[in-house]
Structures are given as C-alpha cells and as structure tokens.
Structure 1
C-alpha cells in the first residue's frame, strides 16, 4: 500500500502533494497503522523541477537506464584520458540530455503542468549532474527527488602537464618560462635577450598567478557562502515541514473535536425533542385528569342533591 501511495505522491504535480499526503496519513491512522502514517507524514514535497525528473524516472525507466550506462562510459573515458572518445561521449551526453529534457517536458505537460512555467533549466542541470556523479545518478533513479541537483565540476578531465622531448635525455616542461634564447651579434658574439623582457615576463606571470589565486579564493569564499545559505535553507525547510505537520495534525484534531461536538449536539437535540414530546403527553394527561375530576365533582353534587330531596 505505502509503495502505491509514494508512487502517486511523486508522480502527481506538487501542488496536490500536501493534500494527498494528509489524506493518506489520515487513512493509515484510521486503519490503525501508525507506522505507515508516520512514514507517509515524513515524505517531503518535491520542487517542480524534482517532480519533472521523478516523472521521467517513473514513466521512462528505459531512458534513465541509458543515462546510467552513458554516465559510466564517460567516467571510464575520463579516467583513461581517452581524448577522442571523451569528446565523442561528451557530444552524445549533450544530445542525450537534450532528448531527456524534451521527453520530461512532454510528460509534465501531459500530467497537467503548464509548459511555460516548467523550470527545464533545473531539470537539465539535474540530468547532467546524474551523468557526472554516480551518487546523484543513484538518487535520481529512486524517483523520489525533492529538489534539483547540480554538479559544478562536470566536464572533460583537464589535460596533464606535458613535457617536450628534445631528442636528448633532458625534458622541458612546456608550462615553465622559456630560457633566454642565445643570439649572435654582428661580431659573432653570443648575447642573451634583454633582462627587461625577462623581468616583464616574470612580472606578467606573477600577476597571472595572483589573479588565479584571487579567483580561486573568491570561488572558495562564494562556495562557503552558498553552502551556508543551503544549510540555512534546508534547516528552514525542515522547520517549515515540521510546522506544517503540526498544523495538519492540529487541524485534524480540531476537525475530530467538531465532529464529536456535532454528534453530542445531535444527541442532545434528539433528547430535547423527546422531552418536549413527553411534556406534551403529560399536559394532555393532566387535562384529561382535570376533566375527569370535574365530572366526578358534578356527580357527587348530583347525588347529594338527590339525597337532600329524599329527606
């Protein structure tokens, strides 16, 4: 039962998630299955992008299987540094992700979502991340994502540092500055490049290194800021979900109280109706007794008068 409910929750558009979950929790509680009710109440509402990916996973598992296979091939090519194969697979990745996004959009529209409001950029980022990261791919395959994923490090493996073989035993690192080139003057004397050019090249290299370091530090600072924001947002989401759960529980308790009071009110109304009817019956009996008493008194008077006449 719970698997069917979970499947329905993550296939239906998110705007109906809370109501469907509350109904399922209520049914489980009514059936006395508190464990199932607790598990259902803990399910998180997905974002629209996550819902679209979940819909694709559940409706087109064949495409997700191909995504996982291509993901493994890409990672193998990256590990083995197969440049041509890596470029070919990267092209396949882009084309395949585009096809997945198109299929996901069609499924979402068929499920009742407005095409103009679908965050397909987040869907594409999630599918691309699944190709790059096996953990993300595993999460995607569950069909129960609650938010979109991203993978900032995706891409071809950086080229290794190359060395140039000069024909002898020495190797020159092409990332190092070139050594001064000897030149011969008019007199046949060997001269070197001007020291000023060497200093300028060294200064330029230092500036570039400093710029790269600034960018690295800035990226790291930004990453830490975003991580803090993400942690705060996730904490806020948990608090909001907890508050929602408590509010839903309080609402159900209030509805139960209203039902109980209405039942009590109905019982009191029934008893009042019966009491009113009983009062009517008692009044009728009293009037009958009054008439009978009056008749008896008249009879007594008549008999007494008859006796008086005989005397």
Structure 2
C-alpha cells in the first residue's frame, strides 16, 4: 500500500489540531483531577492525553478508514489492542503526548507522535512539537525532514562520528535491570555526557538533527519509537536492538541503540551499553 504525501499532510494537520484543541490550552493549567497515575508515580496520564488521542483517532478513521488504530491510551485501557499491530495490513500508531511527565509538570519538552505501519514495516513517521509548531517527517527511502510553521523545510542529518570520549547522547535507564544500572552509569563516564530528557520525541529530534551522537532505550513500546527510529534512520543514523537485529513494530523489548554509523554503534555497545 502506498502512503501519499497528501495523506501525511492530512495526518500532520490532524496532530496540530489535536494539540490546539486538547493539549496547548491545558499546558501549565492542569488541576489535580486532570492527572492520574497509570503504573507508577512517574507514569502519568492527563486529560490532555486522552482528549488528543480521541481527536486523532476520529480523524484517522476518516483519513484511513481501513487502518487499525493503536494509541497509547487506548492500549492502556484495553491491552488486547496492541495485538492488532502484528497482523494488520495497515495500522496507525499514536502517542498523543510523548513526555507526559514533563507536560504534567509544566516542562515544555513533549511532543505528539504518529507512525504508519504497512504489513509489519514502518513506512512513515511524524513527530510534532506543539511548542515550536513544527514537524519532523520521514517516509521510508525519502529522507527525514523538518517542516516549519512558515512552510519552509530542511533535511535532517545525524552528527558526524566522533571519538567515544567526545560523544553526547541520552540514556533512558528507568526500565533497565536494576542490577545492571550501576555498571551502565559507571560506563557513561567514558562519554562526554549521557542525559535523559524523559521524552523520546525530543531525544529523537536532537539525534536526527545532529545534536546528539547516540541514544538508548530498554523498554520498547511502539508509540514511543516507531516514528523516531524511522526518522533517525532516514537522517543517516544506524539504529538496532542490542543484539544487532533490526527494530520492528512488534518488538517490545531487546533494547534499542542509535549512533551516527555502525562503527560508533559497535563501540558504544561493547564499551558502554554492555547490558
């Protein structure tokens, strides 16, 4: 199935509308009743998450009526929905607010993410920044692009490789085995620095635009990574699971590591991220 540029533009417009209607009016205006815990204190859902997903889902049903819709909040309510992704001929995977913890605490590092999956392969990805009103967009084989609100575009490109001691990046350790964390954190001393913005949308943007040399995650939920991995790859990055295998939409574990090239990836995997 071919996804046209008109379809991607329609989905982008839908993501912007959801942000304008449900997300931006609530930023730094949430009451206690508007925020709830899901699995733990750092795993939150807000009224903006559920409202934005509802708007996007309704729009996708008009734009791509035959697509299975897999949204983070829908799966939280009904985990069986995640199984649709594995066998669907066409699916749209959405994170209505990536970085909900940041959003709920008034931190402007969050985004809206969407990916299109055809027969088990990610063919397009979009990440929208409501604060800057711009998009990262990639189609498989077509490069990664930053599209600004004024209509201008620029091609995204990962950073050039550098020595291990000069690498800047992000490492999400929250879901890594607790007994491995001390070793992992000690290993990051070999790098220039390893941070975490608690938002994959922000971290993928920084990687794909050349601001970071690496990223790593342990837990792999599709709405967090499908769009960003495609964008990072189309920007020239080398991204794979810890065992070196390609990341696919049905993978929920196995870790994920991205770098400017395969040689950098291998050095990071062997010397730093030794999980």
Relative to the length of structure 1, the TM-score reads: 0.28
More strand by share: 2
Structure with the bigger RCO (C-alpha within 8 Å, sep 6+) is 2
Which structure has the larger Rg over C-alpha atoms?
A: 1
